[in-house]
Structure 1
Amino acid sequence: MPELPEVETTRRGISDALTGNTVAAVTIRDPRLRWPVPDTLHSLLQGQRIVSVDRRAKYLLIGFAHGTLIVHLGMSGTLRLVTAARPVEKHDHIDLMLEDGRILRYRDPRRFGCMLWHEAAAATHPLLARLGPEPLSDTFDASYLQDEIARRQAAIKLVIMDQHVVVGVGNIYASEALFRARIHPERPAATLKKREIGALVDAIKGTLSDAIRAGGTTLRDYVDSSGNTGYFQLQTYAYDRAGEPCRVCARPIVEIRQGQRATFFCSNCQK
Protein backbone atom coordinates (compact mmCIF):
# COMPACT_ATOMS: atom_id res chain seq x y z
CA MET A 1 0.00 0.00 0.00
CA PRO A 2 1.40 3.42 -0.87
CA GLU A 3 2.31 5.20 2.37
CA LEU A 4 3.32 8.79 3.05
CA PRO A 5 6.70 8.67 1.24
CA GLU A 6 5.13 7.16 -1.88
CA VAL A 7 2.30 9.71 -1.89
CA GLU A 8 4.73 12.59 -1.31
CA THR A 9 6.96 11.29 -4.11
CA THR A 10 3.91 11.21 -6.39
CA ARG A 11 2.93 14.74 -5.34
CA ARG A 12 6.38 16.09 -6.15
CA GLY A 13 6.34 14.30 -9.49
CA ILE A 14 3.06 15.83 -10.67
CA SER A 15 3.05 19.22 -8.94
CA ASP A 16 5.00 21.25 -11.49
CA ALA A 17 3.07 19.81 -14.43
CA LEU A 18 -0.34 20.39 -12.84
CA THR A 19 0.01 23.71 -11.03
CA GLY A 20 -1.16 26.51 -13.31
CA ASN A 21 -2.37 24.05 -15.93
CA THR A 22 -6.02 23.75 -16.99
CA VAL A 23 -8.12 20.60 -17.19
CA ALA A 24 -9.35 20.24 -20.77
CA ALA A 25 -11.47 17.13 -20.20
CA VAL A 26 -12.07 14.23 -17.83
CA THR A 27 -12.58 10.60 -18.86
CA ILE A 28 -14.00 8.15 -16.32
CA ARG A 29 -13.76 4.58 -17.58
CA ASP A 30 -14.71 2.89 -14.32
CA PRO A 31 -16.17 4.90 -11.40
CA ARG A 32 -16.21 1.91 -9.04
CA LEU A 33 -13.44 2.80 -6.61
CA ARG A 34 -13.70 2.57 -2.83
CA TRP A 35 -16.43 5.18 -3.14
CA PRO A 36 -18.03 5.98 -6.50
CA VAL A 37 -16.27 8.66 -8.50
CA PRO A 38 -18.68 11.63 -8.88
CA ASP A 39 -20.40 11.45 -12.26
CA THR A 40 -20.25 15.26 -12.35
CA LEU A 41 -16.45 15.33 -12.27
CA HIS A 42 -16.15 16.27 -15.95
CA SER A 43 -18.45 19.28 -15.63
CA LEU A 44 -16.80 20.30 -12.35
CA LEU A 45 -13.25 20.28 -13.73
CA GLN A 46 -13.44 21.01 -17.46
CA GLY A 47 -11.89 24.39 -18.19
CA GLN A 48 -10.78 24.87 -14.58
CA ARG A 49 -7.25 25.90 -13.63
CA ILE A 50 -5.30 23.88 -11.07
CA VAL A 51 -3.99 26.21 -8.37
CA SER A 52 -2.20 23.78 -6.03
CA VAL A 53 -1.10 20.19 -5.49
CA ASP A 54 -0.78 19.36 -1.80
CA ARG A 55 -0.72 16.31 0.44
CA ARG A 56 -2.44 15.60 3.76
CA ALA A 57 -1.49 12.27 5.30
CA LYS A 58 -1.86 9.77 2.43
CA TYR A 59 -4.29 11.96 0.48
CA LEU A 60 -3.36 14.07 -2.53
CA LEU A 61 -5.22 17.37 -2.71
CA ILE A 62 -5.50 18.88 -6.18
CA GLY A 63 -6.79 22.38 -5.54
CA PHE A 64 -9.03 24.51 -7.75
CA ALA A 65 -10.56 27.92 -7.08
CA HIS A 66 -13.96 26.30 -6.44
CA GLY A 67 -12.93 23.16 -4.52
CA THR A 68 -10.51 20.28 -4.08
CA LEU A 69 -10.09 16.95 -5.83
CA ILE A 70 -9.18 14.49 -3.04
CA VAL A 71 -7.25 11.45 -4.26
CA HIS A 72 -6.20 8.36 -2.32
CA LEU A 73 -4.10 5.66 -3.99
CA GLY A 74 -5.58 2.82 -1.94
CA MET A 75 -3.56 -0.39 -2.02
CA SER A 76 -2.43 -0.40 -5.63
CA GLY A 77 -3.21 2.98 -7.17
CA THR A 78 -0.83 5.21 -9.11
CA LEU A 79 -1.05 8.63 -10.72
CA ARG A 80 1.14 8.99 -13.80
CA LEU A 81 1.75 11.73 -16.32
CA VAL A 82 1.47 10.23 -19.80
CA THR A 83 0.95 11.36 -23.37
CA ALA A 84 -2.08 10.67 -25.54
CA ALA A 85 0.03 8.16 -27.46
CA ARG A 86 0.22 5.83 -24.47
CA PRO A 87 -2.30 2.97 -24.85
CA VAL A 88 -5.03 2.72 -22.24
CA GLU A 89 -4.64 -0.44 -20.16
CA LYS A 90 -7.19 -2.53 -18.29
CA HIS A 91 -6.91 -0.80 -14.90
CA ASP A 92 -6.54 2.79 -16.16
CA HIS A 93 -9.78 4.11 -14.69
CA ILE A 94 -9.59 7.91 -14.92
CA ASP A 95 -7.83 10.46 -17.13
CA LEU A 96 -7.49 14.17 -16.50
CA MET A 97 -6.56 15.64 -19.89
CA LEU A 98 -4.53 18.81 -19.45
CA GLU A 99 -4.54 21.83 -21.71
CA ASP A 100 -0.89 21.28 -22.64
CA GLY A 101 -1.68 17.81 -24.03
CA ARG A 102 -0.44 15.70 -21.18
CA ILE A 103 -2.70 13.32 -19.26
CA LEU A 104 -2.82 12.61 -15.54
CA ARG A 105 -3.84 8.95 -15.50
CA TYR A 106 -5.18 7.14 -12.44
CA ARG A 107 -4.55 3.41 -12.43
CA ASP A 108 -5.81 1.11 -9.67
CA PRO A 109 -5.98 -2.68 -10.19
CA ARG A 110 -7.68 -3.34 -6.84
CA ARG A 111 -9.91 -0.23 -6.91
CA PHE A 112 -9.43 0.53 -3.19
CA GLY A 113 -8.44 4.13 -3.84
CA CYS A 114 -10.72 7.11 -4.24
CA MET A 115 -11.22 10.32 -6.19
CA LEU A 116 -13.69 12.66 -4.50
CA TRP A 117 -14.76 16.29 -4.88
CA HIS A 118 -15.08 18.69 -1.92
CA GLU A 119 -16.20 22.30 -2.32
CA ALA A 120 -15.36 23.55 1.19
CA ALA A 121 -11.86 23.79 2.65
CA ALA A 122 -10.15 20.42 2.22
CA ALA A 123 -9.41 20.15 5.96
CA THR A 124 -13.15 20.02 6.69
CA HIS A 125 -13.77 16.84 4.68
CA PRO A 126 -14.74 13.91 6.96
CA LEU A 127 -11.72 11.91 5.75
CA LEU A 128 -9.33 14.67 6.83
CA ALA A 129 -10.99 16.52 9.69
CA ARG A 130 -9.79 14.32 12.57
CA LEU A 131 -6.29 13.44 11.43
CA GLY A 132 -3.25 13.92 13.64
CA PRO A 133 -0.28 16.16 12.80
CA GLU A 134 2.07 15.62 9.89
CA PRO A 135 5.14 13.67 11.08
CA LEU A 136 7.60 15.98 9.30
CA SER A 137 6.03 19.13 10.75
CA ASP A 138 7.23 21.07 13.79
CA THR A 139 3.95 20.21 15.53
CA PHE A 140 5.02 16.59 15.81
CA ASP A 141 7.72 16.73 18.48
CA ALA A 142 8.72 14.85 21.63
CA SER A 143 6.51 16.98 23.87
CA TYR A 144 3.45 16.29 21.71
CA LEU A 145 4.10 12.53 21.51
CA GLN A 146 4.79 12.31 25.24
CA ASP A 147 1.38 13.81 25.96
CA GLU A 148 -0.32 11.48 23.48
CA ILE A 149 1.12 8.25 24.86
CA ALA A 150 1.19 9.11 28.56
CA ARG A 151 -1.77 6.87 29.43
CA ARG A 152 -1.77 4.45 26.50
CA GLN A 153 -1.05 0.81 27.28
CA ALA A 154 -1.30 -0.29 23.64
CA ALA A 155 1.87 -1.44 21.89
CA ILE A 156 3.93 1.53 20.73
CA LYS A 157 3.95 0.33 17.10
CA LEU A 158 0.15 0.36 16.98
CA VAL A 159 0.06 3.80 18.60
CA ILE A 160 2.37 5.46 16.08
CA MET A 161 0.32 3.89 13.27
CA ASP A 162 -2.85 5.49 14.65
CA GLN A 163 -3.72 8.28 12.19
CA HIS A 164 -5.31 10.29 15.01
CA VAL A 165 -1.93 10.39 16.80
CA VAL A 166 0.28 11.10 13.79
CA VAL A 167 -0.44 10.61 10.10
CA GLY A 168 1.46 8.65 7.52
CA VAL A 169 3.50 6.25 9.66
CA GLY A 170 2.44 3.07 7.93
CA ASN A 171 3.52 -0.48 8.60
CA ILE A 172 6.85 -0.42 6.79
CA TYR A 173 8.04 2.84 8.29
CA ALA A 174 6.80 2.06 11.81
CA SER A 175 9.00 -1.04 11.92
CA GLU A 176 11.96 0.88 10.55
CA ALA A 177 11.56 3.86 12.89
CA LEU A 178 11.30 1.60 15.94
CA PHE A 179 14.47 -0.19 14.91
CA ARG A 180 16.32 3.10 14.54
CA ALA A 181 15.08 4.23 17.94
CA ARG A 182 16.02 0.83 19.48
CA ILE A 183 12.49 0.37 20.87
CA HIS A 184 10.72 -3.00 20.96
CA PRO A 185 7.46 -2.76 18.96
CA GLU A 186 5.45 -4.52 21.69
CA ARG A 187 6.42 -2.09 24.45
CA PRO A 188 3.36 -0.47 26.07
CA ALA A 189 3.45 3.12 24.83
CA ALA A 190 3.18 4.62 28.32
CA THR A 191 6.41 2.87 29.43
CA LEU A 192 8.61 4.87 27.07
CA LYS A 193 10.98 7.26 28.82
CA LYS A 194 11.45 10.86 27.73
CA ARG A 195 14.76 10.07 26.04
CA GLU A 196 13.18 7.19 24.12
CA ILE A 197 10.28 9.35 22.99
CA GLY A 198 12.68 11.93 21.62
CA ALA A 199 14.63 9.21 19.84
CA LEU A 200 11.44 7.80 18.33
CA VAL A 201 10.28 11.19 17.01
CA ASP A 202 13.70 11.71 15.41
CA ALA A 203 13.62 8.19 13.97
CA ILE A 204 10.17 8.68 12.46
CA LYS A 205 11.21 11.94 10.83
CA GLY A 206 14.51 10.48 9.61
CA THR A 207 12.98 7.27 8.27
CA LEU A 208 10.27 9.08 6.31
CA SER A 209 12.73 11.67 4.97
CA ASP A 210 15.12 8.93 3.81
CA ALA A 211 12.25 7.06 2.16
CA ILE A 212 11.13 10.17 0.28
CA ARG A 213 14.69 10.70 -0.97
CA ALA A 214 14.70 7.07 -2.13
CA GLY A 215 11.46 7.57 -4.07
CA GLY A 216 9.45 5.45 -1.63
CA THR A 217 9.22 1.67 -1.32
CA THR A 218 8.14 -0.70 -4.09
CA LEU A 219 7.08 -4.13 -2.85
CA ARG A 220 4.53 -4.90 -5.56
CA ASP A 221 2.55 -2.29 -7.51
CA TYR A 222 3.91 1.15 -6.62
CA VAL A 223 5.58 3.33 -9.24
CA ASP A 224 5.95 7.09 -9.19
CA SER A 225 4.43 9.58 -11.64
CA SER A 226 7.09 8.73 -14.23
CA GLY A 227 6.72 4.97 -13.84
CA ASN A 228 9.85 4.50 -11.72
CA THR A 229 9.97 2.15 -8.74
CA GLY A 230 11.13 3.28 -5.31
CA TYR A 231 14.22 1.74 -3.74
CA PHE A 232 13.91 2.33 0.01
CA GLN A 233 13.29 -1.42 0.40
CA LEU A 234 16.99 -1.91 -0.35
CA GLN A 235 17.88 0.11 2.76
CA THR A 236 15.60 -1.44 5.40
CA TYR A 237 17.06 -2.65 8.69
CA ALA A 238 14.04 -4.62 9.84
CA TYR A 239 11.04 -4.65 7.50
CA ASP A 240 10.64 -7.82 5.39
CA ARG A 241 13.97 -9.22 6.64
CA ALA A 242 12.67 -12.06 8.85
CA GLY A 243 15.42 -14.61 9.51
CA GLU A 244 18.11 -12.44 7.97
CA PRO A 245 20.97 -11.18 10.17
CA CYS A 246 20.48 -7.81 11.83
CA ARG A 247 22.66 -5.23 10.08
CA VAL A 248 23.89 -4.06 13.50
CA CYS A 249 24.34 -7.19 15.68
CA ALA A 250 23.87 -10.10 13.22
CA ARG A 251 21.11 -11.74 15.30
CA PRO A 252 18.22 -12.95 13.06
CA ILE A 253 15.39 -10.46 12.51
CA VAL A 254 12.14 -11.64 14.10
CA GLU A 255 8.65 -11.43 12.55
CA ILE A 256 5.46 -11.26 14.63
CA ARG A 257 1.86 -10.18 13.98
CA GLN A 258 0.43 -6.98 15.46
CA GLY A 259 -3.00 -5.70 14.56
CA GLN A 260 -3.13 -8.28 11.72
CA ARG A 261 0.03 -6.76 10.19
CA ALA A 262 3.56 -8.12 10.04
CA THR A 263 6.08 -6.52 12.41
CA PHE A 264 9.83 -6.99 12.07
CA PHE A 265 12.40 -6.27 14.77
CA CYS A 266 15.71 -7.30 16.34
CA SER A 267 15.27 -8.92 19.76
CA ASN A 268 18.79 -7.87 20.73
CA CYS A 269 18.90 -4.26 19.54
CA GLN A 270 15.32 -3.28 20.45
CA LYS A 271 14.29 -3.25 24.11
Structure 2
Amino acid sequence: MPELPEVETVRRGLQPVMEGARIERVEARRPDLRFPLPERLAERIEGRRIESLSRRAKYLLADLEGGLVLAMHLGMSGSFRIETAEGDGAAAPVAGAAFHLARSEDRLHDHVIFHLARPEGGPARIVFNDPRRFGYMTLVPKAEMADHPHFRALGLEPTGNALSGADLAPRFRGKAAPLKAALLDQTIIAGLGNIYVCEALWRARLSPRREAGSIVKKDGTATQRLDTLALHIRETIADAIEAGGSTLRDYRQADGSLGYFQHRFNVYDREGEPCRHETCRGIVQRIVQSGRSTFFCPVCQR
Protein backbone atom coordinates (compact mmCIF):
# COMPACT_ATOMS: atom_id res chain seq x y z
CA MET A 1 0.00 0.00 0.00
CA PRO A 2 1.38 3.44 -0.86
CA GLU A 3 2.55 5.31 2.21
CA LEU A 4 2.49 9.04 2.89
CA PRO A 5 5.61 9.89 0.82
CA GLU A 6 4.13 8.11 -2.20
CA VAL A 7 0.84 9.99 -1.82
CA GLU A 8 2.67 13.31 -1.47
CA THR A 9 4.72 12.50 -4.57
CA VAL A 10 1.51 11.85 -6.51
CA ARG A 11 0.03 15.11 -5.24
CA ARG A 12 3.06 17.05 -6.45
CA GLY A 13 2.83 15.38 -9.84
CA LEU A 14 -0.87 16.16 -10.23
CA GLN A 15 -0.84 19.68 -8.78
CA PRO A 16 0.46 21.60 -11.83
CA VAL A 17 -2.21 20.05 -14.05
CA MET A 18 -5.19 20.01 -11.71
CA GLU A 19 -5.00 23.27 -9.77
CA GLY A 20 -6.94 25.99 -11.54
CA ALA A 21 -8.50 23.57 -14.02
CA ARG A 22 -12.22 23.14 -14.48
CA ILE A 23 -13.81 19.69 -14.44
CA GLU A 24 -15.70 19.51 -17.72
CA ARG A 25 -16.72 15.86 -17.60
CA VAL A 26 -16.35 12.82 -15.36
CA GLU A 27 -16.36 9.24 -16.63
CA ALA A 28 -17.16 6.71 -13.91
CA ARG A 29 -16.70 3.38 -15.65
CA ARG A 30 -17.99 1.37 -12.71
CA PRO A 31 -20.29 2.27 -9.81
CA ASP A 32 -17.82 1.39 -7.09
CA LEU A 33 -14.22 0.90 -6.08
CA ARG A 34 -13.62 -0.29 -2.53
CA PHE A 35 -16.85 1.50 -1.65
CA PRO A 36 -19.59 2.87 -3.91
CA LEU A 37 -18.59 6.06 -5.67
CA PRO A 38 -20.29 9.21 -4.33
CA GLU A 39 -23.91 9.43 -5.39
CA ARG A 40 -24.30 11.53 -8.56
CA LEU A 41 -20.54 12.13 -8.61
CA ALA A 42 -20.38 13.52 -12.14
CA GLU A 43 -23.45 15.72 -11.73
CA ARG A 44 -22.15 17.20 -8.48
CA ILE A 45 -18.64 18.15 -9.62
CA GLU A 46 -18.82 18.81 -13.35
CA GLY A 47 -18.35 22.50 -14.09
CA ARG A 48 -16.50 23.18 -10.84
CA ARG A 49 -12.99 24.65 -10.71
CA ILE A 50 -10.30 22.85 -8.73
CA GLU A 51 -9.05 25.55 -6.38
CA SER A 52 -6.27 23.53 -4.73
CA LEU A 53 -4.89 20.01 -4.38
CA SER A 54 -3.65 19.11 -0.93
CA ARG A 55 -3.03 16.05 1.22
CA ARG A 56 -4.18 14.92 4.67
CA ALA A 57 -2.54 11.72 5.90
CA LYS A 58 -2.82 9.38 2.87
CA TYR A 59 -5.75 11.23 1.27
CA LEU A 60 -5.51 13.50 -1.75
CA LEU A 61 -7.91 16.43 -1.33
CA ALA A 62 -9.19 18.40 -4.31
CA ASP A 63 -10.85 21.58 -3.03
CA LEU A 64 -13.58 22.48 -5.51
CA GLU A 65 -15.28 25.82 -5.90
CA GLY A 66 -18.57 25.96 -4.11
CA GLY A 67 -17.26 24.42 -0.90
CA LEU A 68 -16.93 20.75 -1.88
CA VAL A 69 -13.86 18.56 -1.32
CA LEU A 70 -13.18 15.46 -3.41
CA ALA A 71 -11.18 13.12 -1.16
CA MET A 72 -9.30 10.34 -2.93
CA HIS A 73 -7.45 7.35 -1.46
CA LEU A 74 -5.08 5.19 -3.50
CA GLY A 75 -5.81 2.01 -1.58
CA MET A 76 -3.34 -0.78 -2.35
CA SER A 77 -2.76 -0.37 -6.08
CA GLY A 78 -4.34 2.91 -7.13
CA SER A 79 -2.48 5.40 -9.31
CA PHE A 80 -3.15 8.44 -11.46
CA ARG A 81 -2.12 8.99 -15.06
CA ILE A 82 -1.96 12.38 -16.75
CA GLU A 83 -2.98 12.63 -20.40
CA THR A 84 -3.93 15.24 -22.93
CA ALA A 85 -6.57 14.59 -25.58
CA GLU A 86 -5.31 14.66 -29.13
CA GLY A 87 -7.50 13.47 -31.97
CA ASP A 88 -8.35 9.87 -31.15
CA GLY A 89 -7.76 10.34 -27.45
CA ALA A 90 -4.26 8.87 -27.43
CA ALA A 91 -2.04 9.80 -24.52
CA ALA A 92 0.24 12.75 -25.14
CA PRO A 93 2.63 14.66 -22.86
CA VAL A 94 1.33 17.68 -21.00
CA ALA A 95 3.39 20.72 -21.98
CA GLY A 96 6.11 21.34 -19.43
CA ALA A 97 5.35 18.11 -17.54
CA ALA A 98 8.44 15.98 -17.96
CA PHE A 99 6.93 13.40 -15.59
CA HIS A 100 4.42 12.07 -18.14
CA LEU A 101 4.60 8.38 -19.10
CA ALA A 102 1.73 6.47 -20.67
CA ARG A 103 0.83 3.03 -19.30
CA SER A 104 -1.52 1.62 -21.92
CA GLU A 105 -1.11 -1.91 -20.61
CA ASP A 106 -3.18 -1.02 -17.57
CA ARG A 107 -6.14 0.64 -19.24
CA LEU A 108 -8.59 -2.12 -18.48
CA HIS A 109 -8.34 -0.84 -14.91
CA ASP A 110 -9.00 2.82 -15.73
CA HIS A 111 -12.08 3.31 -13.54
CA VAL A 112 -12.56 7.08 -13.17
CA ILE A 113 -11.49 9.73 -15.68
CA PHE A 114 -11.61 13.47 -15.04
CA HIS A 115 -11.70 15.58 -18.20
CA LEU A 116 -10.23 18.98 -17.40
CA ALA A 117 -10.21 22.36 -19.12
CA ARG A 118 -7.11 24.29 -18.11
CA PRO A 119 -6.55 28.04 -18.34
CA GLU A 120 -3.20 27.32 -19.99
CA GLY A 121 -2.00 24.28 -21.89
CA GLY A 122 -5.27 22.97 -23.28
CA PRO A 123 -7.46 20.08 -22.10
CA ALA A 124 -6.16 17.22 -20.00
CA ARG A 125 -7.40 13.96 -18.56
CA ILE A 126 -6.62 12.64 -15.09
CA VAL A 127 -7.12 8.88 -15.07
CA PHE A 128 -7.53 6.88 -11.87
CA ASN A 129 -6.32 3.32 -12.42
CA ASP A 130 -6.75 0.64 -9.74
CA PRO A 131 -6.37 -3.07 -10.57
CA ARG A 132 -7.32 -4.26 -7.09
CA ARG A 133 -10.03 -1.64 -6.53
CA PHE A 134 -9.09 -0.91 -2.93
CA GLY A 135 -8.97 2.81 -3.58
CA TYR A 136 -11.98 5.02 -3.00
CA MET A 137 -13.37 8.51 -3.43
CA THR A 138 -15.79 10.54 -1.38
CA LEU A 139 -17.30 14.03 -1.55
CA VAL A 140 -17.35 16.10 1.63
CA PRO A 141 -18.61 19.64 2.21
CA LYS A 142 -15.52 21.61 3.22
CA ALA A 143 -17.23 22.96 6.33
CA GLU A 144 -17.78 19.38 7.53
CA MET A 145 -14.26 18.03 6.97
CA ALA A 146 -13.22 18.21 10.61
CA ASP A 147 -16.20 16.07 11.67
CA HIS A 148 -16.13 13.58 8.81
CA PRO A 149 -15.54 9.94 9.87
CA HIS A 150 -12.44 9.65 7.64
CA PHE A 151 -10.77 12.74 9.10
CA ARG A 152 -12.03 13.64 12.54
CA ALA A 153 -9.71 11.28 14.44
CA LEU A 154 -6.54 11.82 12.40
CA GLY A 155 -3.47 12.82 14.38
CA LEU A 156 -0.51 15.08 13.69
CA GLU A 157 1.08 15.36 10.27
CA PRO A 158 4.67 14.05 10.21
CA THR A 159 5.89 16.71 7.78
CA GLY A 160 7.42 20.14 8.10
CA ASN A 161 8.24 21.31 11.60
CA ALA A 162 4.80 20.63 13.06
CA LEU A 163 5.83 17.37 14.74
CA SER A 164 7.91 17.63 17.92
CA GLY A 165 8.65 15.76 21.11
CA ALA A 166 6.46 18.23 22.97
CA ASP A 167 3.56 17.38 20.65
CA LEU A 168 4.02 13.63 21.11
CA ALA A 169 4.63 13.59 24.88
CA PRO A 170 0.95 13.88 25.96
CA ARG A 171 -0.02 11.29 23.35
CA PHE A 172 2.64 8.80 24.50
CA ARG A 173 2.36 9.44 28.23
CA GLY A 174 1.37 6.31 30.14
CA LYS A 175 1.18 4.15 27.01
CA ALA A 176 2.34 0.57 27.51
CA ALA A 177 1.95 -0.16 23.78
CA PRO A 178 5.18 -0.76 21.85
CA LEU A 179 6.62 2.24 20.06
CA LYS A 180 5.95 0.59 16.69
CA ALA A 181 2.24 0.26 17.49
CA ALA A 182 2.01 3.80 18.84
CA LEU A 183 3.59 5.26 15.72
CA LEU A 184 1.22 3.33 13.47
CA ASP A 185 -1.78 4.65 15.43
CA GLN A 186 -3.34 7.12 13.00
CA THR A 187 -4.95 9.06 15.84
CA ILE A 188 -1.46 9.96 17.09
CA ILE A 189 0.41 10.57 13.83
CA ALA A 190 -1.52 10.64 10.57
CA GLY A 191 -0.15 8.81 7.56
CA LEU A 192 2.82 6.95 9.00
CA GLY A 193 3.09 3.41 7.64
CA ASN A 194 5.09 0.30 8.37
CA ILE A 195 8.12 0.99 6.17
CA TYR A 196 8.88 4.50 7.37
CA VAL A 197 8.20 3.71 11.02
CA CYS A 198 10.90 1.02 10.82
CA GLU A 199 13.26 3.50 9.18
CA ALA A 200 12.59 6.31 11.66
CA LEU A 201 13.06 4.04 14.68
CA TRP A 202 16.38 2.82 13.25
CA ARG A 203 17.58 6.39 12.75
CA ALA A 204 16.56 7.28 16.31
CA ARG A 205 18.17 4.04 17.66
CA LEU A 206 14.97 3.13 19.46
CA SER A 207 13.63 -0.40 19.77
CA PRO A 208 10.22 -0.99 18.18
CA ARG A 209 9.42 -3.10 21.26
CA ARG A 210 10.10 -0.33 23.78
CA GLU A 211 7.01 0.98 25.61
CA ALA A 212 5.90 4.28 24.14
CA GLY A 213 5.45 5.79 27.59
CA SER A 214 9.06 5.05 28.51
CA ILE A 215 10.35 8.03 26.50
CA VAL A 216 8.16 10.53 28.35
CA LYS A 217 9.30 12.07 31.63
CA LYS A 218 7.31 11.59 34.82
CA ASP A 219 6.11 15.19 34.61
CA GLY A 220 4.68 14.46 31.16
CA THR A 221 7.30 16.31 29.12
CA ALA A 222 9.43 14.89 26.34
CA THR A 223 12.74 13.16 26.92
CA GLN A 224 15.68 13.73 24.63
CA ARG A 225 14.89 10.36 23.05
CA LEU A 226 11.39 11.53 22.14
CA ASP A 227 12.70 14.79 20.71
CA THR A 228 15.17 12.80 18.64
CA LEU A 229 12.46 10.41 17.43
CA ALA A 230 10.24 13.30 16.29
CA LEU A 231 13.19 14.80 14.39
CA HIS A 232 13.98 11.52 12.65
CA ILE A 233 10.34 10.90 11.71
CA ARG A 234 10.26 14.26 9.95
CA GLU A 235 13.61 13.66 8.27
CA THR A 236 12.69 10.14 7.14
CA ILE A 237 9.46 11.34 5.53
CA ALA A 238 11.18 14.36 3.97
CA ASP A 239 13.94 12.18 2.48
CA ALA A 240 11.38 9.75 1.07
CA ILE A 241 9.34 12.54 -0.52
CA GLU A 242 12.47 14.06 -2.04
CA ALA A 243 13.43 10.67 -3.48
CA GLY A 244 10.01 10.21 -5.04
CA GLY A 245 8.58 7.59 -2.71
CA SER A 246 9.22 3.87 -2.75
CA THR A 247 8.29 1.48 -5.54
CA LEU A 248 7.12 -1.47 -3.52
CA ARG A 249 4.44 -3.58 -5.22
CA ASP A 250 2.10 -1.60 -7.45
CA TYR A 251 3.00 1.96 -6.54
CA ARG A 252 3.47 4.45 -9.36
CA GLN A 253 3.89 8.20 -9.41
CA ALA A 254 1.33 10.30 -11.25
CA ASP A 255 3.35 9.84 -14.45
CA GLY A 256 3.64 6.09 -14.08
CA SER A 257 7.35 6.28 -13.26
CA LEU A 258 9.00 4.68 -10.26
CA GLY A 259 10.33 6.19 -7.06
CA TYR A 260 13.74 5.31 -5.65
CA PHE A 261 13.65 5.45 -1.86
CA GLN A 262 13.66 1.67 -1.50
CA HIS A 263 17.29 1.69 -2.64
CA ARG A 264 18.12 3.76 0.43
CA PHE A 265 16.33 1.70 3.04
CA ASN A 266 18.62 1.30 6.01
CA VAL A 267 16.72 -1.42 7.82
CA TYR A 268 13.43 -2.30 6.13
CA ASP A 269 13.51 -5.68 4.37
CA ARG A 270 17.21 -6.15 5.26
CA GLU A 271 16.88 -9.14 7.58
CA GLY A 272 20.23 -10.84 8.21
CA GLU A 273 22.31 -7.95 6.86
CA PRO A 274 24.75 -5.85 8.92
CA CYS A 275 23.40 -2.75 10.63
CA ARG A 276 24.36 0.36 8.68
CA HIS A 277 25.20 2.49 11.71
CA GLU A 278 28.96 2.89 11.42
CA THR A 279 29.69 2.11 15.06
CA CYS A 280 27.36 -0.90 15.28
CA ARG A 281 28.14 -4.56 14.63
CA GLY A 282 24.56 -5.74 14.92
CA ILE A 283 22.60 -7.79 12.40
CA VAL A 284 19.15 -6.69 11.26
CA GLN A 285 16.38 -8.88 12.61
CA ARG A 286 12.76 -9.31 11.57
CA ILE A 287 9.94 -9.79 14.06
CA VAL A 288 6.18 -9.69 13.64
CA GLN A 289 4.17 -7.07 15.53
CA SER A 290 0.42 -6.88 15.11
CA GLY A 291 0.67 -9.02 12.02
CA ARG A 292 3.26 -6.79 10.31
CA SER A 293 6.96 -7.31 9.72
CA THR A 294 9.26 -5.14 11.80
CA PHE A 295 12.93 -4.78 10.88
CA PHE A 296 15.39 -3.45 13.44
CA CYS A 297 18.88 -3.80 14.88
CA PRO A 298 18.75 -5.44 18.34
CA VAL A 299 22.19 -4.08 19.21
CA CYS A 300 21.87 -0.34 18.68
CA GLN A 301 18.11 0.09 18.91
CA ARG A 302 17.23 0.20 22.60
TM-score range (shorter-chain normalised) is: over 0.9
Shift of 1:250: 4.5
Q: Deviations over 1:77-109 (max 9, x none)?
A: 112212331357121111001113211111111
Match for residue 229 of structure 1 among 234, 248, 258: 258
Partner of 2:150: 127
What is the DSSP-based 3-state SS (H/G/I as helix, E as strand, rest coil) of the residue aligned with 1:71? strand
Contact 2:29 2:111 in 1 (8 A): yes
Partner of 1:214: 243
State the distance in 2 between where 1:131 and 1:101 align: 36
Match for residue 112 of structure 1 among 134, 137, 154: 134
Partner of 1:72: 73
Name the amino acid aligned to 1:190: G
State the distance in 1 between where 2:83 and 2:299 align: 48
Q: Deviations over 1:193-230 (max 9, x none)?
A: 50110110001000000000000011111111111111
Shift of 1:178: 0.1
Partner of 1:179: 202
State the distance in 2 between where 1:38 and 1:149 align: 37
Count residues in correspondence.
271
What TM-score do the two structures reach when normalised by structure 2? 0.86
Contact 1:133 1:165 in 2 (8 A): yes
Contact 2:281 2:299 in 1 (8 A): no
Work out the percentage of aligned pairs sharing the same amino acid.
43
State the distance in 2 between where 1:102 and 1:242 align: 45
What is the DSSP-based 3-state SS (H/G/I as helix, E as strand, rest coil) of the residue aligned with 1:210? helix
Contact 2:26 2:114 in 1 (8 A): yes
* Greater Cα radius of gyration, structure 1 or 2: 2
Map 1:10-49; keep pairs closer than 5 Å.
10-49=10-49
Partner of 1:82: 83
Name the amino acid aligned to 1:40: R
Partner of 2:166: 143
Which segment is superposed worse, 261-270 or 26-35? 26-35
Contact 1:61 1:71 in 2 (8 A): yes
Partner of 1:58: 58
Name the amino acid aligned to 1:231: Y
Contact 1:31 1:93 in 2 (8 A): no
Superposition misfits of 4+ residues, deviation over 6 angstroms? none
Contact 2:60 2:73 in 1 (8 A): yes
Match for residue 91 of structure 1 among 109, 115, 122: 109
Partner of 1:155: 178
Unmatched segments (≥5 aa) in structure 2: 92-103, 217-222
Map 1:165-204; keep pairs closer than 5 Å.
165-192=188-215, 194-204=223-233
Contact 1:52 1:64 in 2 (8 A): yes
Name the amino acid aligned to 1:244: E
Shift of 1:39: 4.2
Partner of 2:101: none
